[in-house]
A = this chain, B = another copy of it.
Amino acid sequence: MSTKTLEFHFDFGSPAVYLAYTQVRRIAQETGAALVWHPILLGGVFKASGNTNPVGVPAKSRWIFEDMARWARYWGVPFVLNPHFPINTLALMRGACGMLMRQPEDFERYVDTVFHAMWVEPRNLNDPTETMAVLTQAGFDADAFMAMVADPDVKADLIARSDASVARGAFGAPTLFVGEQMFFGQDRMHFVKDALLA
């Protein structure tokens, strides 16, 4: 069993991140690795690294969504292309940082709630009212959440985490680190597992 750490750099807005999310706990469990969740703002990582969103190329975008559906079938996980994609995840990612800082015991339930609403139900999380309804339904206090994501320390944490990701070599998401070895993509989980077992 591994005594290593699997760092998962994620943004809720990417279908590839969702697919990796469906696998990271399994891989950590199978290898005995410690899973570390690392929220980032994907748009910020693109900008800082000089990368562009792959869905900006029409032919690539068409293929990506077929490919995402293939990976979902491959892993046997539910997946629906959110018709409201792309969704601005700034508040949601600040929320992930805030949960880690202030309510770590609720963090995984928060992550599960948001990924499910984004890529399974799917809900229009571009609409703050709908986002608050999703969180309330899952037992979160919407007013407390709104206050948390407006907290300057929480905002700064998301920026710092995104910058740290880029400083270590990231240019997109999902990005996974095993020590300083970096892996990009939901299609590299076998390499991630190998690195954890090495």
Contact = CB atoms under 8 A, between A and B. Distances in A.
Nearest to A185: B187
> Which range contains the number of A residues in contact with the other chain?
20 to 34
B187 A63 contact: no
B188 A60 contact: no
B191 A63 contact: no
A62 interface: yes
Contact of A59 (B58, B74, B166, B185): B166
A182 B61 CA distance: 13
B67 A184 contact: yes
B191 A70 contact: yes
B51 A171 contact: no
Contacts of A184: 60, 63, 67
Contacts of A86: none
A169 B132 CA distance: 39
Smallest CB-CB A-B distances: 8 pairs: A59-B171, A60-B171, A51-B57, A49-B59, A187-B187, A50-B57, A59-B169, A70-B191
Given A57-B171, A187-B188, 15 more contacts: A49-B57, A49-B58, A49-B59, A50-B57, A50-B58, A50-B59, A51-B60, A59-B166, A60-B171, A60-B172, A60-B184, A63-B169, A63-B182, A63-B184, A67-B188
